[in-house]
């Protein structure tokens, strides 16, 4: 079973998820400005929270955007989800990625809460035929990629975001925001479904200042060099 094979990695996924959700006050999120992402953590929140949830389509859109940002799914992966792929109790979704490879990805309580609300209040009224897809269009069938692009553009306009915003924007932001908050690259690689870790490194586009700070914080030799430098400075001062 795929779930059994991924169990050893799941605790790392949960740690990474907590890093993304810790301190969820959007005002406290730092600015991040590199290509392929929303400009800042606040912008990611604004994009996700933009849909009008008083409307059925808006509640569906909010659930989908929350899930995209919480899990870093590809557009095709999110649109291919079935109801049974969501495990509310364990807090993950089962995804079929490129090459038909399966993986477990944590979704986070906030995203799953919106998905649950959509499932219980909107989807039963939308479904018109026996469609297993989680996210439906107004006709009761599975949402298309074009529909997803449309809702992303509408959300971006409502959030006041400028520049090109696409479904991939939230996937890039998911990965880079996790890494910036201290998640390890291997966990992010597994969640994104990348076979080669070099793809994850290129994909995230972390600015050099962030990479340098992460190196100084986590590499033991870097910490030792810093301590030696401070000690020598004190010797010279004395």
Q: Which residue is catalytic, options 26, 74, 117, 154?
A: 74
Q: Which residue among 60, 103, 123, 171 is the active-site one?
A: 171
> What is the rounded CA–CA span in Å between residue 177 and residue 179?
6
171 catalytic? Reply is yes
| C-alpha dist (Å) from residue 2 to 12, 93, 157, 228 | 17, 12, 40, 47
CB atoms within 10 A of CB 58: 18
Instruction: Provide the sign of the torsion angle of the four alpha carbons 9, 10, 13, 19, taken in this order.
Output: negative
Residue of 110, 154, 158, 168 marked catalytic: 168
Catalytic residue (choose from 69, 92, 118, 203): 203
172 catalytic? Reply is: no
74 is catalytic: yes
Catalytic residue chosen out of the listed positions 98, 116, 145, 157: 98
Distance CA 70, CA 72 (A): 6
> Which residues are tagged catalytic?
74, 98, 168, 171, 194, 203
């Amino acid at each position: 079973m795929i779930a059994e094979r991924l169990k050893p990695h799941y605790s790392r996924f949960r740690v990474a998820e907590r890093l993304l959700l810790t301190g969820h006050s959007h005002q406290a999120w730092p600015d991040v400005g590199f290509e392929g992402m929303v400009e800042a953590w606040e912008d990611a929140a604004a994009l996700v929270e933009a849909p009008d949830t008083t409307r059925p389509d808006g509640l569906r859109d909010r659930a989908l955007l929350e899930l995209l940002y919480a899990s870093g799914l590809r557009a095709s992966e999110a649109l291919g989800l079935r109801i049974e792929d969501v495990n509310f109790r364990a807090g993950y979704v089962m995804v079929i990625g490129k090459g038909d490879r399966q993986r477990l990805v944590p979704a986070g309580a906030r995203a799953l809460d919106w998905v649950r609300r959509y499932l219980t209040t909107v989807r039963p009224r939308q479904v018109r035929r026996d469609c297993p897809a989680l996210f439906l269009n107004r006709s009761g069938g599975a949402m298309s990629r074009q529909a997803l692009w449309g809702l992303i553009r509408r959300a971006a306009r409502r959030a006041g975001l400028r520049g090109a915003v696409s479904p991939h924007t939230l996937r890039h932001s998911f990965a880079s925001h996790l890494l910036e908050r201290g998640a390890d690259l291997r966990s992010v690689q597994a969640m994104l479904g990348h076979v080669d870790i070099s793809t994850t490194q290129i994909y995230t586009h972390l600015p050099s200042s962030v990479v340098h700070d992460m190196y100084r914080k986590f590499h033991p030799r870097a910490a030792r060099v810093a301590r030696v430098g401070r000690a020598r400075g004190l010797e010279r001062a004395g």
